[in-house]
Amino acid sequence: MNSGRGKRLFADREEASFILAVLVPTMAAFLVIRLAPIAETFVGSFFNWSLVDGFGRFVGVRNYVRLFADKTFYSSFVNTINFTVFTTLFSVVLGLLFACLLNRKPRFSTLYETIIFVPVVLTFVPVCLVWMWLLDWESGFVNVALRALGLPRVSWLATPTMSMVSVIIVSVWKVIGYNMIIFSVGLKAIPREYYEASAIDGSSRWTVFRRVTLPLLKPITLFVTVMAVINNLKVFTQVYVMTMGKQGGGAQVDVLVSDIYTRSFVYYRMGSASAEAMVLLVVVLAMTALQFRLAREDE
Amino acid sequence: MAVAISNRSRRAMGAALLQAFLVVSSVVIIFPFFWMISTSLKSNLEIFRPSPTLFPERLFTENYAKLLADSSFLRFYWNSIVVSVVGTALSTFSSMIAGFVFAKFRFPAKNFLFFLVLATLMVPFQCYMIPLYSMSVGLKLIDTYTGLIFPIVISSFGIFFIRQNMQSIPDSLIEAAKIDGASIWRIFFTIMMPLSMSSGVALAIFQFMTAWGDFIWPLIVTNSQKMFVLELGLTRFRGEFVDDYGLMMTGSTLGIVPVLIVFLFFRRYIIEGVTLSGMKA
């Protein structure tokens, strides 16, 4: 379609005034609430920035040097990576599994699809609260059920490791439906003939899946995986609600964003927090760049 | 013949197994949601019974009555409605009109400006929230609706999404209206907006659900309980009534009602929106 690049639709003053009336406020907003703050975070990461005395002294890369030697930063980084790896792995595999099963068009598939998608639309705080109730040591449904089956109870939120496991469970549960939907679009795009050909070969379902479905789904799998990684690197709400502060029932887990939050809004060490925000930005942009590269290779 | 029968019965068994697996998975996946509602309708006595009941023995609606008469809970709810509705309206409108400009006009530095819009698409909010906060402190926007809403009045994704959709509207429609003497504003409101209604609705739904669930910015920009949005208010609930799960589940259930209504009414839109956008979760 013609995108307006070819010829002018409105070559007059009315056009110029319309464009200005729209773009001046829009671009000003982008400048003030997106571009400038991003630049300010970058610049601020080189200053002894605290809320009270503005940017303060220029300290070069000291914020970064201190950050990389900081124990909390180190554990936040490791926890974020662990969270990202496991949540991405399970949510992508389960999303693919449900997409494949529902693609066989069993009866009631729309109903199943809707049910699996419900957690995606719920918001995180209610979701975390109900999961904390389910995982409650004394009267939570999960432990009651385990006991009824004669199994030992699990202290889901008592140690940092178990807190992390619980946060991962909640996060996977919430996003399976999202991944499933994207995979099911990819599956619908696979031409029937591929399957018919392998049906004639008499290959088993598993062979067909490995030889036909999986290779054809490679681009979409990469897309879902990278998107999931980027989203998981930004994890915060679940961790905050389930493990931090007085509402958090569980042993505290630090992740990058919660550490940025604590540095800047609890200790008001904006410089150090900005340096950490830049680390997050570099990781996220690296993942984005990787995605662009992989997408180009596929073409 | 025997082979054909066994093939058929094998297939029937496969289908049964598949159904069994899907039923069990669906039950497990929907269970937390069910448990939230079920708990909200039980008395504390029933909630903490050693062998819990699946469904409430007797519908206990006192928690609902309590919360719906609780002025601070209603205030959280109202704040969430104001922030989500105003934020959605502003960002959807700004995306539509800017998307129109980028889709249908030629002007100097167009590509550069569009690049600026897209450049921020992948930058996490956490990478610029600190300056937004110090700006809010400087402009006295802490604990105000303006402070809660201003970061979401524009959307790179929205502009990008609407531009893609408006590019497919034929120029000839605009030219015809132009010849009839319609102003550009008129063309925007009477031709472009109605013709891209479905993408506008999809975008608005997406923005509304994002705004309703937003957590980190309200956490930062509000201090006084009076200005808490619901998501934030619910975490304070948890702090105050640690063991009152009935009340917490009632608050949670009420908190997801708006997104559930949107989901039930626009299920197709949302599922298609996910597949189209894909970019944001």
Classify residue A49: in a domain, yes or no. no
Quick one: A208 and A144 in the same domain? yes
Q: Is A123 helix (H, G, I), strand (E, B) or coil?
A: coil
Interchain CB distance below 8 Å, A129 and B231 = no
CB atoms within 10 A of CB B12: 10
Classify residue B22: in a domain, yes or no. yes
Q: What is the mean pLDDT of chain B?
A: 89
Quick one: B25 and B160 in the same domain? no
ipTM value, please give it.
Answer: 0.90
Quick one: B175 and B272 in the same domain? yes
Is pLDDT at A145 greater than 70 in this prediction?
yes
Quick one: A231 and A87 in the same domain? yes
**Chain B from 58 to 117: CB within 8 A of any A CB:** 94, 97-98, 100-101, 103-107, 113, 116-117
pLDDT tens profile A51-71:
777 788 899 899 999 999 999
Classify residue B46: in a domain, yes or no. no
Phi and psi at B57, nearest 5°, equal -65, -40
Tell me the CATH number at A113.
1.10.3720.10
- The structural domain count of chain A equals 2
Which residue of chain B comes nearest to A8, CA vs CA?
A: B106
Classify residue B52: in a domain, yes or no. no
Q: What range defines the domain where residue B6 resides?
A: 2-40
Which residue of chain B comes nearest to A22, CA vs CA?
A: B98
What is the average pLDDT across A239-243? 90
Question: Which residues fall within 8 angstroms of residue B272, CB to CB, at 6 or more apart?
Answer: B202
Quick one: A11 and A148 in the same domain? no
Quick one: A79 and A1 in the same domain? no
What is the average pLDDT across B28-38? 95
Quick one: A67 and A138 in the same domain? yes
Quick one: A94 and A35 in the same domain? no
Quick one: A100 and A156 in the same domain? yes
Q: What percent of chain B has pLDDT over 90?
A: 58
Distance CA A39, CA A33 (A): 11
Which residue of chain A comes nearest to B174, CA vs CA?
A: A9
Alpha helices in chain A (DSSP H): 13-30, 36-44, 62-69, 71-103, 109-121, 124-134, 141-148, 160-188, 192-201, 205-208, 214-216, 218-233, 237-243, 256-261, 270-298
Quick one: B104 and B33 in the same domain? no
Which member of B122, B133, B274 has the closest CB to residue A284? B122
What is the average pLDDT across B227-235? 92
Is pLDDT at A122 greater than 70 in this prediction?
yes
Distance CA B123, CA A282 (A): 10
Quick one: A37 and A140 in the same domain? no
Classify residue B58: in a domain, yes or no. no
Interchain CB distance below 8 Å, A26 and B94 = yes
Classify residue A148: in a domain, yes or no. yes
Which residue of chain B comes nearest to A139, CA vs CA?
A: B48
Interchain CB distance below 8 Å, A37 and B274 = no
DSSP A213: I
Residue tagged 């696979």 (tokens)? A190
Quick one: B17 and B137 in the same domain? no
Q: How far apart are the first and last CA of chain B?
A: 52
Classify residue A70: in a domain, yes or no. yes
A to B CB pairs, distance under 8 Å: 276
pLDDT band at A6; cut points 50, 70, 90: very low
Quick one: A148 and A26 in the same domain? no
- The structural domain count of chain B equals 2
Which member of A122, A237, A249 has the closest CB to residue B215? A237
Q: What range defines the domain where residue A31 resides?
A: 1-44
Give per-residue burial for B98-123: e unless 16+ CB within 10 Å, then b.
bbbbbbbbbeeebeebbebbeebebb
pTM here?
0.90
Quick one: A26 and A66 in the same domain? no
Tell me the CATH number at B183.
1.10.3720.10
Q: Which of the residue ranges A196-205, B87-96, B253-262 has the most confident prediction, judged by mean pLDDT?
A: B87-96
Q: Is A210 helix (H, G, I), strand (E, B) or coil?
A: helix
